[in-house]
Amino acid sequence: MGCALKGGGGLYSRLTVGAVLLAAGAGERMGRRPKCMLQLGGVPIIRRMLIAMSGAGVDEVVVVLGHHAEVVEPAVMDFPVTVVHNPAPDDGIMSSQRIGLAALSRRYDAVLMALADQPLIGADDITALIRAWKQRPEGVGVVFPQVAGQKGNPVLVSADVRDQILADGANVGCRQWREWHPELVMPFVTDCRRYCIDVDTPEDVERFSNETGHALRWPTELAV
């Protein structure tokens, strides 16, 4: 179900939002383990992101898998998502972005590009980003969270940006589009650190625990 959001100007018209959740990486710096399967409070963080998207009213979610698909896919299949597989995940995140964008079933007003390794993103964070999108100046095609000058995730892109990325060559993704069109990119300036917290290394996991007081743990079958 989509979301109708209230803002300073009253009730906004309904915004349709699709989402691409990227979870195809090898987790090289995590000992070749799928970092999205780290558990917070006993729940894999990829599931926490899907719960957040549902709570924010995202209409459709495409999950892009690659490495470790046999481990990750069972963790998401009880959600109403479309799972697609990147046959060449070592080609990088751009290839997964393009596969995910192409797999959306329709042309949405906006598309949420999200990472599966952000433990603390909740429905309120996605809703706040969508609200910023609704308030963006005309013509802006990308909105991203920015915390103390640091770029965060997830990112929202317009239907036109999605179309332009897919119409360009295979070496074009969201980052390239943003670099080519900086005047059409808007930061959502916030003090919410959750947008900038992800886990790529064991050191990130330790830092997360020290800074938040919450532990990230591997499920038994992935523990070493």
In a domain, residue 25? The reply is yes
* pTM of structure: 0.92
- 221, 42 contact by CB (below 8 A): no
Nearest to 64 by CA among 40, 80, 78, 81: 81
In a domain, residue 10? The reply is no
The tally of domains found in the chain comes to 1
In a domain, residue 129? The reply is yes
Domain containing 115 equals 15-215
At residue 45, does pLDDT exceed 80? yes
In a domain, residue 6? The reply is no
Whether a cis peptide bond, with omega within 30° of 0, leads into 202 is no
Segment 68-83, tens digit of pLDDT: 999 999 999 999 999 9
Rg (CA), the chain: 17
Query: Would you tell me how many other CB atoms lie within 10 Å of the CB of residue 20?
Result: 28
In a domain, residue 197? The reply is yes
At residue 87, does pLDDT exceed 60? yes
Segment 149-208, tens digit of pLDDT: 999 999 999 999 999 999 987 778 999 999 999 999 999 999 999 999 999 999 999 999
pLDDT at 14: 79
In a domain, residue 174? The reply is yes
At residue 11, does pLDDT exceed 50? no
pLDDT at 13: 64
Structure tokens at 61: 């979610």
pLDDT at 7: 37
In a domain, residue 97? The reply is yes
CATH code of the domain covering residue 133: 3.90.550.10
pLDDT at 224: 76
Give the end-to-end CA distance of the chain in Å, rounded to a whole number: 40
In a domain, residue 46? The reply is yes
Structure tokens at 97: 């972005």
